[in-house]
Chains A and B, each alone.
Chain A
Amino acid sequence: MRNEGGLISDRISWSRRLQDHLFTGLAVAAVLLVLLPLAAIFIDLVQRGIGSINFAFLTQTPKPVGIPGGGMANAILGTGVILGIASAIGVPLGIGAGVFLSEYGRNRSGDAVRFTADVLNGVPSIVIGIVAYSLVVLRQRHFSALAGGVALGIMMIPTITRATEEMLLLVPISVREAAFGLGVSRWRTTVSVTLRTAAAGIITGVMLAFARVAGETAPLLFTAFGSQFWSSNINQPIAALPLQIFVYAISPYDEWHRHAWAGALVLIVLIVGTIAVVRLIASRGMMKGTA
């Protein structure tokens, strides 16, 4: 019976092949659909922004309305300062909380932290801005880079916490047992073995959090506030690219519109560049064949 059915099995293989092509095609189409908006945004940004990017744009402070030239150098510096403060707060706290959740958090206090992190992740960024306002700005009695950094740092914590926890849980128990078996203490095992094994994934989580807050505008409106001048003092109001883009984009001047496009392009290039550099450095420290 089986042998006589040669034709039938042929037909099955034809429909199989058709299905195979169909679903491969659908998957490719899905990929294109995902990539399309990203490519469209980037191409649009380059077309509109590249014309205004020159040496002056990258090295000078803004000029008053009507005077051509000037740039966003102070905002580029300010974004760097704010993101530095945010990372100094968000990365250690986020990784620390993630370690707690994965290594000591199989209980009610762990569940509480996990729930808090998930809720914090869903809090609108403008609300986080208000928190930083009341925590830092009201006490200092003026806007500051510090307040902006605190706001963005708080926003980084839940993403990093959950990513760290997930990545640490992926490290097999057998790897921890190997360290215990050598007489390595639990704390040392966590730091030198478990965290190190999960490092690649944790770095990815940190970069996601970093990229997410780097473009935030709302929480900076009443914390970092913005500025037209050079400043790297963390106790003074400071310019930031997203703020500058926002102010320029809603202004009525064509020159400022062009600068807003250029600023947006610079911001994206800076974020992508930072991620690429961190990944490069991280991959050098990793062993080959680690996956």
Chain B
Amino acid sequence: MGVGIEVEGLNAWFGGTQALHEISMRIAPNHATAIIGPSGCGKSTFVRCLNRMHETLPETRVVGKVRIGDMEVYGNGTSAVQVRRHVGMVFQKPNPFPAMSIYDNVAAGLKLNGFRDKRRLDEVVERSLRMAALWDEVKDALKKKSGASLSGGQQQRLCIARALAVEPNVLLMDEPASALDPISTGKIEELIFQLKESYTIVIVTHNMQQAARVAEFTGFFLLGRLIEFDKTEKIFTNPSDKRTEDYITGRFG
């Protein structure tokens, strides 16, 4: 089951440049929340702070509080590895492991963390691929074909299956459809619709129609600050902030 996310006074830096300023928001469990805003506004940095991926880049720094369920993400006793096991992530560009079969790609999160029970693995792989709506297309070549041999849209669904296989509470998606054609995009969106029944989803998107289609809540970022956070409907029909209105009506960005 999905859990809620509470963010309090989150700041992030790249070297001397501050990318996020005092972000605070509550993300509801089992719903999809969209993060929108112009390029360079800190959307991606924000979701990468939720699972401590930001700190894998050189010379980065984070200050603030993030709580996922009852886990203090930046707490003293919490390791980054531990956090990432509970938070799945799907990246902008599909990034399957090229040297692994389709099966091993999906099983990677479990196998690389020492899980060896073959029958359970088979079950998890099939269930994850079915959830990601990819099973029927790949079931005949699971161990024969490399993850990299699939089409772009299939690769992205493979990456979603890989993230789901470790049974996370939260799924972070950083522009998951921006490199895909409209048909593959449609499939991914349909998928998000089904997945939010059992996961909390945070999706970064450049595409405002996409935010309106898949998310109940939307946050608008500008220059590293959260300008407005509300129900998606409210943001797109009656935003409270002038800057939000300017952005969604296409006056800039």
A199 to B95, CA, bound (A): 18
Chain A, interface residues (CB within 8 Å), range: 20 to 34
Chain B, interface residues (CB within 8 Å), range: 20 to 34
- How far apart are B195's CB and chain A's nearest CB, in angstroms? 16
B residues within 8 A CB of A179? 97, 108, 112
A278 to B10, CA, bound (A): 52
With A192-B112, A193-B112, A290-B148 as known contacts, state yes or no: A181 contacts B97, CB within 8 Å.
no
A15 to B78, CA, bound (A): 69
Within 8 A of A (CB), among B72-109: 81-86, 88-89, 91, 93, 95-101, 108-109
28 CB < 8 A contacts A-B: A106-B58, A177-B56, A177-B91, A178-B95, A178-B97, A179-B108, A180-B56, A182-B84, A182-B108, A182-B112, A182-B113, A183-B82, A183-B84, A183-B86, A184-B108, A184-B109, A184-B112, A184-B113, A185-B81, A188-B113, A193-B97, A193-B108, A196-B99, A287-B101, A287-B145, A287-B146, A287-B148, A289-B146
A183–B56 touching, CB < 8 Å: no
Partner-B contacts on A (CB < 8 A):
106, 172, 174-175, 177-185, 188-189, 192-193, 196-197, 199, 286-291
B99–A286 touching, CB < 8 Å: yes
Stretch at the interface among B12-20, B159-167, B180-188, B237-245: B159-167
Number of A-B contacts (CB under 8 A): 94
A287 to B143, CA, bound (A): 9
In the assembled complex, B23 has its CB within 8 A of some CB on chain A:
no
A129 to B82, CA, bound (A): 50
- How far apart are A256's CB and chain B's nearest CB, in angstroms? 49
A182–B146 touching, CB < 8 Å: no
A286 to B100, CA, bound (A): 8
* CB nearest neighbor in A for B108: A182
A180–B146 touching, CB < 8 Å: no
- How far apart are B68's CB and chain A's nearest CB, in angstroms? 13
A181–B149 touching, CB < 8 Å: no
B residues within 8 A CB of A174? 91, 93, 95
Apart from A196-B99, A291-B98, 11 more pairs, CB < 8 Å: A106-B58, A177-B91, A178-B159, A182-B108, A182-B109, A188-B112, A188-B113, A193-B112, A196-B97, A197-B97, A291-B148
Which are the 4 A-B pairs with shortest beta-carbon distances? A289-B149, A183-B85, A287-B146, A182-B109
* CB nearest neighbor in A for B93: A174
